[in-house]
A = this chain, B = another copy of it.
Amino acid sequence: MTEEPAGARRRPLLRAGTTVDQMVRVLADEIVRGLLAPGEKLDEGGLAERFGVSRTPVREALRQLSTMDLAERQPNRRAVVRAITGERLAEMFDAMGELEAACARLSALRMTAAERRALEDLHRRSADPVRSGAREAYEEANVRFHTLLYEGSHSGYLRDLVMAIRARLAPFRRAQFKVPGRLARSLAEHDAIVAAILRGDGEGAAAAARAHVLTVGVASATYLDSTRSVEPPLEPA
């Protein structure tokens, strides 16, 4: 620690973790966003060259990805991006619905007054993007809304669990907003959840949240049927 001229050159750009962690972040993001298609081969040598490292850290990254269920490995066979079957996708939405419902239920029971106010405020402000049809803005508000629900459960474990699944389903969820009129309906569903939470009705909040996610799941299934593929919709960086 002799010199630190201002730019801190020791950290080579976005050094938030180790080399392997960085690779995992990048690859996980690309898989979740569909830039790496399901079934795509993850060649150790190729990835090593791409990231400018040797194969050792690449292997560690691949093992982590496979533990996270984003990649699949078999002994002596090359790793591939995990393909999501339609059935599995449905199961994931099932689980997502139940976990969202759990968070909503616990939020209704456990949220502090401040947390309830914040939720209500955010929900009220979300009406503007819907009126003006600002999809981007609403999507952002939507993410914040659900995050507040997870935090409201006052269970970090539950929050981490549901956010992991959410990240995995994000591309599929996002597609639904392109359906005409979906924004308004989404807002109405949020309204039911907020109302139940504010009156402390745990079961009501759970049912509303479950229905909300179910709707999203059905929309995704429809989308998939129409495209005859389980690949998540591509999108630009």
Contact = CB atoms under 8 A, between A and B. Distances in A.
B158 A75 contact: no
Main secondary structure of the interface of A (DSSP, over half): helix
A157 B17 contact: no
A155 interface: yes
Contacts of A99: 98-99, 102
B64 A158 contact: no
Interface string A135-148: 00000000000000
B161 A95 contact: yes
A60 interface: yes
Nearest to A158: B95
Give the number of times this chain occurs in the complex, counting copies: 2
A18 B75 contact: yes
A120 B124 CA distance: 48
A102 B63 CA distance: 30
Contact of A63 (B64, B98, B156, B203): B64
A91 interface: yes
B158 A91 contact: yes
A89 to B, nearest CB: 9
Given A98-B98, A98-B102, A99-B98, A91 B60 contact: no
Contact of A94 (B17, B98, B106): B106
Contact of A157 (B94, B105, B153, B156): B94
B106 A157 contact: no
Nearest to A21: B75
Q: Which 3 A-B pairs have the closest CB atoms?
A: A98-B102, A91-B157, A67-B67
